[in-house]
Structure 1
Amino acid sequence: MRQTQLNVKSACFQIFLFCFLYSASLLGKNNKVVLEVNFISDTISVLSKANTLFNQRKYDKAISEYKALLDNNYRDSTYLYKRLAFSYAKSNQPNMASVFIEKYILKTLDVSFVNHSYFDPIKKNDSFKILQKKYQRKINVWALFCLYVGFIGVFISTILIFKPAKDRIANLLIGCFLLLHSFFILRISILITNYEFYLPHSLYVSASFSFLYGPFIYFYFKRIDQEYQLKKGDIIHLLPTVLFLVFMIPIYSLSGDEKLYMIVHNARPYTILIMLAKLVSLIIYGSLLMVKYLGKIKLDETFNRSEKNWRRNLIVFYSLYTMFYGTYAFVFRKYELGSLLFNLQIFLMTLLVLYVSYNTFFNLALVRDKKWKTVSIDKLDAYKYSSSSLTSELSIELKDKLVDLMDERKVYRDNDITLQKIADLLNTNRHNTSQIINEHFGLNFFDLINSYRINEAMSILKNNKSGVVNIIDVAYEVGFNNKVTFNKSFKKYNQITPSEYLRSFSI
């Protein structure tokens, strides 16, 4: 009986203890809720007071209240940034206003905030001007120039790529080279006008073809110099671009808002890597161009002066751009819009685009058929010589004299013959001599000279009775300076080498 009574008392005590602890916990929670309610109430009261002061134009006092809320980690910091920016601007504190303007932009990604009318009182302040330059859309002469060059390049390259031509491959290669540079310049115009904030998907777009500049210009030279036929193995030159595109899939697949966040916060994680990798590609292909083609241009007699200048200048422009781009990459290693080196490399690229556009579209002397004879266009010739003082009678007379110089005196055998020498022999000027050759023979000076040289060389090889002939001796005899140029010229006119031509008579 006594044991039963003790068990009852113990159970009652445990029930009492449980009820006491439970009541205490409820009281604690209620106190916490009360504290939170009181905190929210106080916050709303402070915010209401700050807004009232703001509306009463008591901006200094409003700033104190807003900052107190910010210090207490008020949940809507975006609203406080906005109000503080307005308040500091209205109280003529431009430096602090600029601080909170940028905080608001970084939080909301709303770059148009910098254009708000509340900031009119501080628009002449240097710190605010820096923000305007950074975020505000702008159009200037430099941007318009880049836009103009970019669209011209796209237009000309489209014609080169899609217009029928004798050598479609050469046109395709130089057209793609021009198109890539034009797109890059358009991308730069988006950057310098701050339209990147409104076109976030333009982020890293031009980087996708950073490794194609070199291959296109390299294979263009191989084509026009050697009539090179592209092979399946050449696709290896596209491998860096393919690997880069795979590497950049995480960036390219981001949404517009995510890309805008990267742009506004200047989070460009791969910029240095892209710049250095592009520089390596430019240097490799530039070195190939200089080693294989630059030295040969001056010695190659199969091209006239315009064609030699075209090839040399292409390599020079490419090399200069590579040099300035490399200097910029190592000095800055990030995008410094407006810097001297940045603008210099872009200016060189615009000159390159204009030069290629003009020479591939307007200078038709550089467009040749498979036998490397200059394409004759009557309308172009009529325009070119519209101001010539050469009469038709004098033109025929000079043509006859020129034929005599070639057929009888064989002046083409002179390995140092020039247009000026021919003009002197005709007792006229260079312009008239060039006009006679263009109009009566449908050729330029170098083509005319080489056609006579090749014809005589073919005659010598064909009439060789002894069966033993030294090809280099034939080359020197007809006016060539070396065997390489002779072989190249011979093959361009006959599609076979002198040795192959000679063997065809011994079969």
Structure 2
Amino acid sequence: MDKLDVLVGIGRISVFVSLLLAFFLLTVKTENKLANRLFAWFFIFSAVDLSGFFINPNTLTELNLEIFRSTMCLLEMPLFYLFVRAVCYYDFRLKWNHLVHLLPFIILNLVFIPRVYLNSEIEIFGTTFNQLPEIIFFHVLVELQYAFYIVSIFLILKKYKVIYLENYANPSTATYKWLFQITCVFLTAHSIVVLKNLLRYTDFKEVFLWANVLVGTIALLITCWFIMKALNHPELFRGVNSKLKLTKDILPEVEDKPESAKEQNDFVKDQIAMLKQYMKEKEPFLDPSLTIQELSNQINIPVRDLSILINHQMDQHFFDFVNEYRIQKAMHILKDQSKNQLTVLEILYEVGFNSKSSFNTSFKKYTNLTPTAYRNI
């Protein structure tokens, strides 16, 4: 079979799988419909991009449509960026100002009008075409846009993780891990595409064709991986409130209070003692979905002050603060001979965890032992 036939076959399968995943995302029942729709449109435009593997324009009209199709890749990263924001923040909504993400796509097509769309002598596969300033501008714009959005996404994920740790006690960080994984996968895949595109300007035409086959195969594998994830975890995402501030951002406001240093230190010590006593007596950590807002309501301390108290004064993330009490409770149960009939799975649910992997990770972090090894000491 000729490599072009292989490329066409892989391209058609990739387009089909991408559209299948988009259909799944648009129809699956979920609370975060906006995130699913954004991701679906990302795959729809990815399918349009991948269709270039088997489209062969023969007329000027078809050629212009092919060039316009290729510019649609500039819509993929904005959609993925908005998808990440919609997943991380459950209160995220699309606004008119988000139309600014269309600017690179619009500007490029305006640049293409005089010498590309209206040029009847241009050949898409010719050397002259690839050396047009407009085409070079196209490739540079794609790379600059990609770099901007990749950096922006990693910054969003970094902030999301810190906000989650400072305000939530649910030990599941599947959302962050999933988004971080797919962003890294996209970055790796795009790096391969860049290397492939550089071959376009060399004499290694055969290598360039095989590189296209490799890129098509990678795209197909990535899309299949997404389908497996989506089918196994249709309710994977859990966002946080975008209005929540990091402790370091609200700390100056709290430190500006007029109390003397000694009075403030005594007050902080009293609050810490009260908080620890409440945690031991009332055991709010047994609730697997405990948040800093809920704990604030229970002990009548403003959530901003409680966040400063735990994340700054006690130098612990709320996530770690709560899990420490859960682990201490689990350690007590594991050593209680009257409860030796309880399995590790039953114990982790009893103390507020909701998955075995997160429990084992946290337990080993605090004891350097697995729960089973600790029980057998």
TM-score class, shorter-chain normalisation, is 0.5 to 0.7
1:355 to 225, 233, 239: 225
Give SS of 1:230's match.
coil
Q: CA deviation at 1:236?
A: 1.5
Q: Which residue of 2 aligns with 1:228?
A: 92
Native 8 Å contact 2:32 2:87 kept in 1: no
Match of 1:276 in 2: 140
> After superposition, where does 1:238-277 map in structure 2 within 5 Å?
238-249=102-113, 262-263=123-124, 265=126, 268=129, 269=132, 270-277=134-141
Cα distance in 1 for partners of 2:26, 2:115 equals 30
Q: Indicate yes or no: 2:296 matched with 1:460.
A: no
TM-score by length of 2: 0.57
* Conserved 8 A contact 1:197-1:264: no
- 1:343 CA drift (Å): 4.3
Pick from 161, 174, 199: which aligns with 2:39? 174
Residues 247 and 480 (structure 1 numbering): CA distance in 2 closer, same or farther, change over 3 Å? same
Q: Larger RCO: Structure 1 or Structure 2 (Cα < 8 Å, ≥ 6 residues apart)? A: 2
Match of 2:268 in 1: none
Counterparts of 1:19-418 in structure 2, within 5 Å, are 139-140=5-6, 142-161=7-26, 165-190=30-55, 195-197=56-58, 200=63, 203-226=66-89, 227-249=91-113, 262-263=123-124, 265=126, 268=129, 269=132, 270-294=134-158, 297=161, 300-301=164-165, 302=168, 304-330=172-198, 332-333=200-201, 336=205, 338-339=207-208, 341-367=211-237, 410=283, 412=285
CA deviation map 1:414-472 (0-9, x unaligned) = xxxxxxxxxxxxxxxxxxxxxxxxxxxxxxxxxx62337764443112xx5xx899313
Percent identical among aligned pairs is: 12
**Matched AA of 2:298:** S
- Structure 1 residues 254, 364: closer, same or farther in 2, change over 3 A? same
Is this contact kept in 2: 1:187–1:202, CA < 8 A?
A: no
Structure 2 CA distance for partners of 1:485 and 1:454, relative to 1, 3 Å: farther
- Contact kept, 8 Å, 2:15 with 2:47, in 1: the verdict is yes
Helix, strand or coil at the partner of 1:451: coil
1:148, distance to aligned residue in structure 2 (A)? 1.3
Q: CA separation of 1:278/1:454 partners in 2, compared to 1, >3 Å: closer, same or farther? A: same
Unaligned runs of 5+ in 1: 1-131, 372-405, 414-447, 487-507
Alignment of 1:472-483 (within 5 A): 472=307, 475=310, 481-482=316-317
- Whether the 8 Å contact between 2:42 and 2:76 is mirrored in structure 1 is yes
Please give the alpha-carbon distance, in whole angstroms, between the structure 2 residues aligned to 1:241 and 1:480: 46
Aligned length: 271
CA-CA distance at 1:337 after TM superposition? 6.4
SS in 1 for 2:92: coil
Inter-partner Cα distance in structure 2 for 1:174 and 1:143: 25
Q: Distance in 2 between matches of 1:306 and 1:316?
A: 15
Find the structure with the greater CA-based Rg: 1
Distance in 2 between residues matched to 1:144 and 1:187, nearest whole Å: 12
CA distance 1:281–1:485, change in 2 (3 Å)? farther
Q: CA RMSD in A?
A: 4.4
State the TM-score, normalized to the length of structure 1. Answer: 0.44
Q: How does 1:420-431 map to 2 (within 5 A)?
A: none
- Structure 2 unaligned runs (5+)? 242-278, 322-377
Q: Which residue of 2 aligns with 1:424?
A: none
Q: Which amino acid aligns with 2:123?
A: M
Give SS of 1:365's match. coil
Which deviations, in whole Å up to 9, do the C-alpha atoms of 1:102-147 show, x marking residues without a partner?
Answer: xxxxxxxxxxxxxxxxxxxxxxxxxxxxxx979xxx533x532332
Deviations 1:208-251 (A, max 9, x none): 21322221111222222233233322222211111122233457
CA distance, structure 2, for counterparts of residue 283 and residue 207 of structure 1: 19
Residue 363 of structure 2 corresponds to which residue in structure 1?
none
In 1, the alpha carbon distance for the partners of 2:12 and 2:142 equals 23
CA distance in 1 between partners of 2:211 and 2:238 (Å)? 38
Q: CA deviation at 1:153?
A: 0.7
**Aligned-pair CA distance for 1:278:** 0.7
